[in-house]
Amino acid sequence: MKGAQLLVKALEQEGVETIFGYPGGAIMPVYDALTESPLRHILTRHEQGAVFAADAYARVTGRPGVCMATSGPGATNLVTGIANAFLDSVPIVAITGQVPTGLMGTDAFQEVDIFGMTMPIVKHSYLIRSVEDIPRIIGEAFHVAREGRPGPVLIDLPKDVANAETELAALFEMPRPGTGAADPAQLAAARQLIRSARRPVLYVGGGVGIAGAVPEFRAYAQASGIPVVATLKGLGAVPTRDPHFIGMLGMHGTVAANYTVQESDLLICVGARFDDRATGRLDGFAPNARVIHMDADAAEIGKLRQTDAALLGDLRTALPALPTDLSISDWQRTCRQRKTAHAWRYDAPGDGIYMPDMLRRISAADRDLTITCDVGQHQMWVAQHCQFDRPDQHLTSAGLGAMGFGVPAGIGALIANPGSRVLTVSGDGSIMMNIQELATLRRYDLPLKILLVDNASLGMVRQWQELFHNERYSEVDLSDNPDFVQVAKSFGIDAFRVTRRDEVDGAIERLLHAEDAILAHVCIDPTANVWPLVPPGQTNDVMMEEASA
């Protein structure tokens, strides 16, 4: 058996069903082995599309996504997606071809040191030098990717190792130990802090969904009645319609959520990492609050904010151990009143399309809709105005903020859960980053719905130039965009344009009920901004709001 065949058998042993990739010279032996394998390969039209699709596949299934590329440019085209998975704690296994071992270090054709290049953005990486090591390395790679705090693992496979022959080795299986329970002394301290708090807040991040602890978190939030705020990745940990949910916090968080956190006397941080977009100026974040930090990754605890109790380990066992018999009725009433007082308004004047309202209505029309999102103003509008009942309904590039994520992520979500309803919300800047993946949609008949928000500019950059750079607009004009309806149709994708508010109802109906892939090109006011906004260097209770609000 050749090394490439052994690698494919090891992937099958790990339960892999789908690989996203793009072939080339150094990885060709593995593609040859795939012809005799039941593994399904999805050919994207760019390696970045492959890794983003694998990322979304992992977020939906909870299993490591697998992507594959050749050496040199194939491998380097994976780097952005690997970094995205690293910052969002997504388990992926990226397999790259490499030049033969005898040519390594000679600047051979399509040779780059992808092992060294990706070292800061992977949990672990492997350069396979012996065919006999393939089963062990595959087993270890999947173990490392999924255990503890998940993340990406890179496997670099030289072509001569892929072609080398060996006796069929026994396939390798790693043990799967549990994460462990929290320290009893720290748990006791946390219980005391919660019982003595009068203004506690549950600050939830993406770690709750990653840990599979959504039922436990919801049960604790419901039983304790503690108000909940979420990071961008924490949305859906409790249904965003839940009365205990105050909103997303941070730079573009809700007024109610930011004020609530700032006034709290106890922050129970569950699977979040005190990211700068959530905290604003860190030394002024929740200034009077004690902190309980619950996480599976010891490196995050105390990294940015000193903790009063650290619960390291499995959230599923720690959450039920926390007390629920609290006396916080006055605080609950204050939070409810604040949430009502600062509720979103959707009665924007004029005949133009008000995107927050359109997104709200789309979300209300289909509560099972999964939304994959690109990066920019539309990403924040989705987070603010769409409703999510589960974390895996909202797939977004949170930590890296990578434009071009949306369409490939929609592909990965549909492959992961055939028959599901998936909407990609993209911008006229973002969609051009990976627009070639419309061909992938067409090839595999994937019924992705695409809402393309077109403000003829790089909207988020333009907003910051308007507010913080004295309206000195530099390289944000996209008024020479192509005709996106015609572009989509040239790929065989149905498409239509929406320019007026009175067309929105029909557009939503057509978009959501299309049986095949479809793109709605929605033209909005180029000057529309995202509000509220915490300016750089300010605390979260200093928020800029729309002048007319």
Question: Hey, which residues are catalytic here?
Answer: 47, 109-110, 159, 460
Cα(29)–Cα(73) distance, integer angstroms: 18
- Residues 220, 225, 230, 236, Cα dihedral to 10°: 60
Cα(169)–Cα(147) distance, integer angstroms: 25
Give the contacts of 486 (CB within 8 A, at least 6 positions apart): 495
**Residue 48 contacts residue 26 (beta carbons within 8 Å):** no
DSSP codes of every residue in 294-345: EES-TTTTTTSS--SEEEES-HHHHGGGS------HHHHHHHHHHHHHT---
Q: What six digits make up the tokens of 103? A: 């040519």
Cα(297)–Cα(106) distance, integer angstroms: 39
* Phi, psi (degrees; rounded to nearest 5) at 43: -85, 105
The CB density around residue 347, as the number of other CB atoms within 10 Å, is: 6
Amino acid at 177: P
Helix axis angle, 459-468 to 377-385, nearest 10°: 100
Q: What six digits make up the tokens of 422? A: 């998936």
**Residue 124 contacts residue 67 (beta carbons within 8 Å):** no
**Residue 142 contacts residue 64 (beta carbons within 8 Å):** yes
Helix (H) or strand (E) holding 487: helix 484-490
The CB density around residue 287, as the number of other CB atoms within 10 Å, is: 11
Q: What six digits make up the tokens of 546? A: 């729309």
Helix (H) or strand (E) holding 220: helix 214-224
Q: Rounded to a whole number, what is the distance in angstroms from the first to the last CA of the chain?
A: 69
- Helices marked H in 417-470: 438-443, 459-468
Q: What six digits make up the tokens of 338? A: 């604040």
Q: What six digits make up the tokens of 173? A: 């299986």
Helix axis angle, 47-61 to 406-416, nearest 10°: 50
* Burial of 32 per CB tally in 10 Å (0-12, 13-18, 19+): middle
